[in-house]
Amino acid sequence: MAIKKTLLEDIAKELNVSKTLVSMVINGKGDAYGISKKTQEKVLSKAGEMEYTPNVFARALRTGKSHLIGLLVADISNPFYSNIAKHVERELAAKGYNLMICSTDENVEREEKLISLFAEQHMIDGLIIATTNTSGEFFSKERLRNFPIVFIDRYLPDIESNYVVANNYQGSYELTDLLIHKGCKNILALNITPSHISSLTERIKGYKDALTKYDIPFKDDNLLEVSFNNIQKDVREKLLKRLKQSPKIDAIYALNNHIATACLHVFNEIGYDAKKEGVLFASFDDINLFDFVKPNVISVSQPVEQIGVEAANLALHLIDSKNSESFKKIVLATSIISRN
């Protein structure tokens, strides 16, 4: 038997005023609607006394605004995403918005279902998303066309959109450049396939362009593609095979943190000592524990906090400015952590 909640009407009755007035005052529009200061105070104090809190559903139903922003990520257990989530949440909280985080489990269907529920239903006022979708088709739907959406981490090249991403090309280029400077000529890159994801294609491009700069020919043998659904097994298989082939590699470059972790597992399993073999190990995406893992990890660190903050503010901006001017594309610099 739940306690009856205090309603606007209850306060109104207590004070012998209309609930209209109470609503206006509670929403801080007392002055705008010319409610006397004295009355405003009465209402506010009574509301406090009666522990009034508005019913979010009634409010959202009428106003079409929920003051809720959705964050959809592929996998909330990935520290890259959970760190972004933390910063988005902080930034939004400061602005009076709440964040609803959902993990799609790398499942496109689930992602689309959640977007339908949240965005089309206007359950949320805006959406921040690291999409797992391969094309922009879904987002081009009439109903979503005018919904405030901010892509993070990845964007879809076939549609115009607002996004906040790290400069994947530049980061990968610099990392490769560093490896080359450290004397590497046979850098084995491990990527995810199918790599329709913008961040990954750009990392590959940066890698290749850096090679080109130093006249190092790119060899197909030095780019292993591992299946997205089976990273661990694939990395194991292909890496083991490649390690036996010549020309011998002098660096291993994992294109994201999942692959990096998978490589570490393989090293561990076969007792591979990269240092002894004279092989450098690098990873795009930094994990703070990399500071302590055995093969030294040279990594590209993404500005996680900045991504979160910028994405939050961009989302809020889009919500405020209904007339969708131009699309905002924010590209943030990465930094190399070399851990000599």
Partner DNA sequence: AAATAAATCTAAACTTGTTTAGAAATCGTT
Partner DNA sequence: AACGATTTCTAAACAAGTTTAGATTTATTT
Which residues contribute to the site for its own copies (CB under 8 A)? 1-3, 5, 51, 53-58, 60-61, 66, 75-79, 82-83, 85-86, 89-90, 93, 98-103, 105, 110, 114, 116-117, 120-123, 142-143, 146-147, 261, 264-265, 267-268, 287-295
* Cis preceding-peptide flag for 194 (omega within 30 of 0): yes
Give the closest residue to 154 by CA, choosing from 204, 205, 104, 197: 197
Q: At its nearest, how many Å lie between DNA and the CB of residue 18?
A: 3
- Dihedral (Cα; 112, 114, 118, 121), 10-degree rounding: 60
CA angle 94, 97, 101 (to 5 degrees): 110
Task: Kindly give, in sequence order, each residue whose CB lies less than 8 Å from that of residue 182, ignoring residues fewer than 6 positions away.
Answer: 280
Q: Does residue number 217 form part of the binding site for DNA (CB under 7 A)?
A: no
Question: Which of DNA, its own copies, none sits in contact with 143, Cβ below 5 to 8 A by type?
Answer: its own copies
Partner whose footprint covers residue 19, from DNA, its own copies, none (CB < 5 to 8 Å by kind): DNA
Q: Whose Cβ is closer to DNA: residue 23's or residue 301's?
A: 23
68 binds DNA (CB under 7 A): no
Rank residues 23 and 283 by Cβ distance to DNA and give the closer one: 23
Q: How many residues bind DNA (CB under 7 A)?
A: 27
Can you tell me which of 7, 44, 180, 216 binds DNA, judged by CB under 7 A?
7
Q: Give the residue with the Cβ less far from its own copies, 19 or 122.
A: 122
What is the token pair recorded at 320? Answer: 């405020």
- The partner in contact with residue 277, picked from DNA, its own copies, none with C-beta cut-offs of 5 to 8 angstroms by kind, is none
**Nearest distance in Å: CB 102, DNA:** 22
Structural element, H or E, at residue 24: helix 19-26
3-state secondary structure at position 175:
helix
Q: How many residues are given for the chain?
A: 340
Closer to its own copies by Cβ: residue 89 or 202:
89
Number of Cβ within a 10 Å radius of residue 92: 25
Under the phi-then-psi rule, with left for phi > 0, alpha for psi from -120 to 50, and beta for the rest, what region is 183?
left
3-class DSSP string for 238-252? HHHHHHHCCCCCCEE
Stretch that binds DNA, among 12-20, 102-110, 165-173, 300-308 (CB under 7 A): 12-20
CB of residue 93 to DNA, shortest distance in Å: 20
Alpha-carbon distance of 25 to 55, in angstroms, equals: 16
For binding to DNA (CB under 7 A), which residues are involved? 5, 7-9, 16-21, 23-24, 26-27, 29, 33-36, 39, 54-55, 58-59, 61-63
